[in-house]
Amino acid sequence: MKSDLEIARAARPRPIHEVAAELGLPEEACEPYGRQVLKIDPAAVELGDRPRGRYVVVTAITPTPLGEGKTATTVGLGQAFGLLGRRAVVTIRQPSMGPTFGIKGGAAGGGYAQVIPMEQLNLHLTGDFHAVTAAHNLLAAMVDNHLHHVARGTVTEPELDPARVDWRRVLDVNDRALRNVVLGLGGRLDGVPRQAGFDITAASELMALLGLATDLADLRARLGRVVVGADRAGHPVTAEDLGAAGAMAVIMREAIKPNLLQTLTGTPALVHAGPFGNIATGNSSVVADKLALRCADFVLTEAGFGADMGAERFFNIKCRVSGEAPDAAVVVATVRGLKYASGRFKVVPGKPLPDDLLTEDPDAVHAGAANLCKQLQIVRRHGVPAVVAINRFPDDHASELAAIAEIAASAGARSAVYSGVADGAEGGVELAEAVIAATEQPAQFRPLYDLAEPLTAKIEAIATEVYGADGVDYSSTAERQLRAYTEQGFGELPICTAKTHLSISSDPALKGAPTGWRLPVREVRLAAGAGFVYPICGEIRTMPGLSARPAATRIDLDADGQVIGLS
Amino acid sequence: MKSDLEIARAARPRPIHEVAAELGLPEEACEPYGRQVLKIDPAAVELGDRPRGRYVVVTAITPTPLGEGKTATTVGLGQAFGLLGRRAVVTIRQPSMGPTFGIKGGAAGGGYAQVIPMEQLNLHLTGDFHAVTAAHNLLAAMVDNHLHHVARGTVTEPELDPARVDWRRVLDVNDRALRNVVLGLGGRLDGVPRQAGFDITAASELMALLGLATDLADLRARLGRVVVGADRAGHPVTAEDLGAAGAMAVIMREAIKPNLLQTLTGTPALVHAGPFGNIATGNSSVVADKLALRCADFVLTEAGFGADMGAERFFNIKCRVSGEAPDAAVVVATVRGLKYASGRFKVVPGKPLPDDLLTEDPDAVHAGAANLCKQLQIVRRHGVPAVVAINRFPDDHASELAAIAEIAASAGARSAVYSGVADGAEGGVELAEAVIAATEQPAQFRPLYDLAEPLTAKIEAIATEVYGADGVDYSSTAERQLRAYTEQGFGELPICTAKTHLSISSDPALKGAPTGWRLPVREVRLAAGAGFVYPICGEIRTMPGLSARPAATRIDLDADGQVIGLS
């Protein structure tokens, strides 16, 4: 099989203006960024009287560290809708450049199910990530500048407490050495020394905020609400208090516009916001989805990691902000994923899959069934019909694929084998038909909790009803923080639990559908701008590292100036 | 008078494709970035048999901390050429976002002499700075990742010595707290603790490299030559040795293409590379200038700071790389600048000019004459005819403007009053005519030194013949470094002296044309990728700070989502 890059480069893209016109996007809403990408200004599109398409979220079983091919399934499903003559848009998140040069080497789907141009998608695209980085770090500079001028007596208000600053810096690079730093060293003009650190840009609160803002005015308002720390009395200090929010909005004013690309077969793809699903929502943007819903008959949107992660946030955070209810969910499952869920195999990120995992073994697939059933149950708990996408890999055996279909049937869900990576649009037709049928069932979307419930009740609802925990154990720090946030008026925010994506529980070693455990909440943090409270349950890496031989060492230009080594 | 932003927004831009077509740039060389900016791929333009335009470098007297309006003069001169029916292109550097949110609030020229769209110019433009930031920091991450894996025994080659790493990180933000940091703190997976720091992106060697690369292949080769430190035997370790250069070139492959914008009156403006003139060349790019020279009759290119700084580097570094000889130089002088050069007034960055400097006082202008004469002499030393642009400000008095004309005449140079900021294209006509006349004189461009001369001889030529020093004093460190670079094969590189721009000497307190002093070289650094050696003479700030009330606090979106507060 050809490499992803070879396939992408051999594609004959449709003129992107033609793709936009087909969606009913007027010329004045479409700004070109290079020849094959348009930035779409939703404010320039009249949406009022257009019919609404059907809304399908693509989620998954608990993924292996290599992922379940969820992006490729979303993209390939969009291609199959096109083949069936249905007007579909896929809405996906922009890949992060850090991992592109780390392990992944790219994230535009795969094989014959890709979004193009893949080089632009995987590199800067239209600069939205750079805008998030710049706005985030301008705020950080203004925080430390404030501390500096307070220390020198040239500024007195709002007098942020240096010990209570919790706004870090961000860069879109895998740089382990920046996780923990001491800054402000040097002389008396070089700031106030303090401990700080960097996260990857995708983990920025501003990236989550970009994904949840409903328009430019809402983006501006949310930026003003971003809390960077507290004053000496413990009162929250915001970006607005520091006078930074306006400039941040100016830096991000183009980033709020989704990016229109296309799949290999010309299905429109709106690419927007970031992929970080651990401490953030990990969903494509509200702006992109709302736009897409008025431009096509089907919108296929990706939610990060398993249904316990991205889909739960999709249901309880994103859909609440957008006011759009989903009509169906696709749960991507793989043979390797269910074998991994059995707990019988060890998979290491950045290494090839172990041989024994690739040996025909339908029993091992059945041994992982509980994970798929639990993820389906999570979807159904929200009133949404589910279809299992059996994402076929070349090493899979028919008996193993059949095992997944049996598990799905036993759980009362439709299923279909998906082979779009190898077969392109044709490989997604069966799945597309199952999805269309699912959207014809009556969906009765209902969120898990009311926002008016106490923060603890909302956390407990997620822990018990979604994760299957027996209950929640709060540290004394977490209890104190929850009380403070409630007193400060943040009690009605939704919850975005920060936990591992490698288990439905908070312990990555527990496979399948763990029971008999309690969710430990070590601390609780506030993303007042993005608009959620996030309990920290376990160690969450917010800045990846590089291996001894990162993908960057294999990425280069050839003699013709073409990119090589992206995949 | 209206604000810069109001004037810029009221302009009726020409369709940018029309501007490109007039330059003879074929459609396939022009990629749109938004509606009013094109990225131009020089590789897609046949330049071979086109006639070459005349090449004019715009430089200045020693500037006040507020600048001499050099960009506005370059831009307004281009507008005046248009009014005279002459085909001109202005080639300027992209503004840095850090200072935009710090003191400046924007840098697109000023008043009726601006490049538009000014919001895009001052913010992300087409992402070239972001690409430099990303490539620079990927290399930094790979440096620290190398140290980490060497320490853990997972990598053995090339075994960079942690104590000899001198590759810092960069961000395009004024962030004093990042000047000096300790990174690699945390646990054993979080890198190796060491001292490090951040510069502003414009100060990155990669920005200088971008300005000097002749094409994409040369960019790739130069990236490979970037030295990040040394191994334990003292041998240089490069980006190529770490396997990073290919990925860096992939990140920067769009950044090598200059950006086509236009002035308020529709003169083409190629905007490319960065403005940092202290430790770098501070010139617009070789790629942009070479392209422009084959597309127009006149190319007006800006060189940063006074003629001792930007123009000297233009002559001895940039023109040597490009092989293009200048036909004339414009030396921008202001009443305020010459009064400041008299040493009688105190000007503080970020504060309004003192009242006494604005009082009519032609004597004070004459008292600063030596500076203008010395800068003119520097230009002539390189065989290039000079024209003095008397950049008029609203507070200037006729007697003071006349004083500058007298000084220019006494030095044998043409001069003309320039008032393009207030008067637009008309305000530059007299200057444009003087420039045209100057380019009709025979220029006999000759660089100051041969590359084959020893590094010390080249440094001494600049110190004595350009700066007017009596000689050079090297620290023992500098002597050792010069020996080492020569032994390592870097002896034939040109010199880019890092010194203050606020004096022709290395001491910012010495005004006018200081004599009777010696240039102290504290240390010498190598920019092997950009292709120069830079002696450090004095304290050079490579990361600005923010004031107690930075420009960012005044920049915002209005109710219609339009930017306010840029200037």
Measure the CA–CA gap between B178 and B169, rounded to whole angstroms.
9
User: Number of C-alpha atoms within 13 angstroms, CB side, residue A188?
Assistant: 4
Among the listed residues B411, B440, B216, B405, the one whose alpha carbon sits nearest the alpha carbon of residue B327:
B440
> Nearest Cβ partner of A35 from B31, B97, B555?
B31
Both A38 and A157 in one domain: the answer is no
> Nearest Cβ partner of A176 from B137, B174, B191?
B191
Residue after which a domain boundary falls, among B374, B406, B440? B440
pLDDT of amino acid B105: 63
Both B105 and B36 in one domain: the answer is yes
Residue B65: pLDDT band with limits 50, 70, 90: confident
Residue list for the binding site of B: 64-71
Both B265 and B236 in one domain: the answer is no
Compute CA distances B359 → A128, B345, B348, B380, B403, whole Å: 48, 12, 17, 33, 15
Q: What is the pLDDT of residues B312-323, one digit of tens each?
A: 999 999 999 999
Q: Find chain A residues with C-beta within 8 A of B182's C-beta.
A: 181-182, 185
Residue B419 covered by a domain = yes
pLDDT of amino acid A275: 82
Among A436-445, A452-461, B343-352, name the most confident range.
A452-461
- The residue of chain A nearest to residue B185, with distances taken between CA atoms, is A180
Residue A556 covered by a domain = no
> Domain with A176 in it: what CATH number?
3.30.1510.10
Question: Span A188-194, mean pLDDT?
Answer: 96
Say whether A244 and B140 touch across the interface (CB within 8 A).
no
CB A470 within 8 A of CB A516: yes
Residue A317 covered by a domain = yes
Q: Find chain A residues with C-beta within 8 A of B178's C-beta.
A: 141, 169, 183
Both A238 and A289 in one domain: the answer is no
How many domains in chain B?
Answer: 3
Say whether B246 and A565 touch across the interface (CB within 8 A).
yes
Measure the CA–CA gap between B354 and B352, rounded to whole angstroms.
6
The answer to whether A68 is a known ligand-binding residue is: yes
pLDDT at B350 exceeding the cut of 80: no
Among the listed residues B392, B389, B388, the one whose alpha carbon sits nearest the alpha carbon of residue B423:
B392
DSSP string, B482-504: HHHHHHTT-TTS-B--B--SSSS
Q: Find chain B residues with C-beta within 8 A of A546's C-beta.
A: 141-142, 145
pLDDT of amino acid B1: 73
Residue B231: which residues within 8 A CB-CB, separation 6 or more? Answer: B158, B159, B160, B161, B164, B237
The answer to whether A82 is a known ligand-binding residue is: no
Which of A38, A119, A175 is the best substitution to test chain B (most B C-beta atoms within 10 A)? A175
Percent share of chain A, pLDDT over 70: 99
CB B265 within 8 A of CB B85: no
pLDDT of amino acid B492: 98
> Domain with A521 in it: what CATH number?
3.10.410.10
Question: Span A396-409, mean pLDDT?
Answer: 98
Which of A255-269, A367-381, B87-101, B266-280 shows the lowest mean pLDDT across its residues? B266-280
> Nearest Cβ partner of B555 from A127, A179, A247?
A247
Residue A407 covered by a domain = no
Residue A255: pLDDT band with limits 50, 70, 90: very high
Q: What is the 3-state secondary structure (H, E, C) of B299-340?
A: EEEEECCCHHHHHHHHHHHHHHHHCCCCCEEEEEECHHHHHH
Residue A105: pLDDT band with limits 50, 70, 90: low
Say whether A244 and B552 touch across the interface (CB within 8 A).
yes
Both B137 and B108 in one domain: the answer is no
Residue after which a domain boundary falls, among A220, A252, A284? A252
Both A212 and A272 in one domain: the answer is no
> Nearest Cβ partner of A176 from B145, B554, B563?
B145
Residue A215: pLDDT band with limits 50, 70, 90: very high
pLDDT of amino acid A558: 95
Question: Span A127-152, mean pLDDT?
Answer: 97
pLDDT at A328 exceeding the cut of 70: yes
Residue A40: which residues within 8 A CB-CB, separation 6 or more? Answer: A20, A25, A29, A30, A31, A257, A258, A259, A260, A270, A291
Both A521 and A427 in one domain: the answer is no
Say whether A220 and B557 touch across the interface (CB within 8 A).
yes
Residue A374 covered by a domain = no
Q: What is the pLDDT of residues B403-443, one digit of tens each?
A: 999 999 999 999 999 999 999 999 999 999 999 999 998 88
Q: Which two tokens stand for residue A386?
A: 């589910």
The answer to whether the bond into B158 is cis (omega within 30° of 0) is yes
Measure the CA–CA gap between B288 and B543, rounded to whole angstroms.
27
Both B152 and B239 in one domain: the answer is yes
Percent share of chain B, pLDDT over 90: 89
The DSSP symbol for A33 reads B
Question: Span B51-68, mean pLDDT?
Answer: 94
The answer to whether A65 is a known ligand-binding residue is: yes
Alpha helices for B164-294 (secondary structure H): 205-212, 216-225, 245-251, 286-293
> Nearest Cβ partner of B138 from A243, A246, A552?
A552
pLDDT at A350 exceeding the cut of 80: no
Say whether B154 and A548 touch across the interface (CB within 8 A).
yes
Place of tokens 């054993």: B188
Residue B11: pLDDT band with limits 50, 70, 90: very high
Residue A435 covered by a domain = yes
Q: Find chain A residues with C-beta within 8 A of B548's C-beta.
A: 149, 154-155
Mean pLDDT of the residues in chain B:
95
Both A301 and A436 in one domain: the answer is yes
Q: Find chain B residues with C-beta within 8 A of A177's C-beta.
A: 141, 144-145, 147-148, 183-184, 190-192
Both A326 and A187 in one domain: the answer is no
Residue A429 covered by a domain = yes
Q: What is the pLDDT of residues B16-51, one digit of tens each?
A: 999 999 999 999 999 999 999 999 999 999 987 899
Measure the CA–CA gap between A267 and A14, rounded to whole angstroms.
9
pLDDT of amino acid B48: 79
Q: What is the pLDDT of residues A510-555, one digit of tens each?
A: 999 999 999 999 999 999 999 999 999 988 889 999 999 999 999 9
Residue B365 covered by a domain = no
Measure the CA–CA gap between B280 and B208, rounded to whole angstroms.
6
Domain housing A229: 129-252
Q: What angle, rounded to 10 degrees, do the helices at A205-212 and A128-152 form? A: 130
Mean pLDDT of the residues in chain A:
95
pLDDT of amino acid A48: 79
Residue list for the binding site of B for ATP: 64-71
Say whether A127 and B123 touch across the interface (CB within 8 A).
no
Q: Find chain A residues with C-beta within 8 A of B165's C-beta.
A: none
> Domain with B56 in it: what CATH number?
3.40.50.300
Residue after which a domain boundary falls, among A252, A285, A319? A252
Q: Find chain B residues with C-beta within 8 A of A154's C-beta.
A: 548
